[in-house]
Amino acid sequence: MGNALVSIQIIPKTKNGEDVIPYVDEAIAIIEKSGIRYEVHPLETTMEGNLSQLFKVIEQMNERMIEMGSKNVISQIKVLYQPDGIEMNDLTEKYKG
């Protein structure tokens, strides 16, 4: 159990208005490689872990977007920080059927 939930929507500015889906796929691959627990949703991805570790993953995601050719990147981030621990299921379990 980590101490934070972080939801991120990454919006890379592509060179010539190309589709951003390959960029988003790469950003999600970075999360996958990190070993962090995560869930992909239609408009954002939520990660669970220690806040500093999650921010490092976000930094890697942004750097990779630039390496792929983005001029800049907007990262819309929501953070729930709870020092005694928090899991995604704590907030969503009652909605699962």
pLDDT digits (tens, 9 = 90+) for 21-46: 999 999 999 999 999 999 999 999 99
Q: Minimal CA–CA distance to 29: which of 64, 66, 78? A: 64
Q: What pTM did the predictor assign?
A: 0.91
| pLDDT band (50, 70, 90) for residue 96 | confident
Strands of 1-97, DSSP E? 2-12, 37-40, 45-49, 73-86
Asked if 5 and 80 touch (Cβ cutoff 8 Å), the reply is yes
Q: Are 26 and 68 in contact (CB under 8 A)?
A: yes
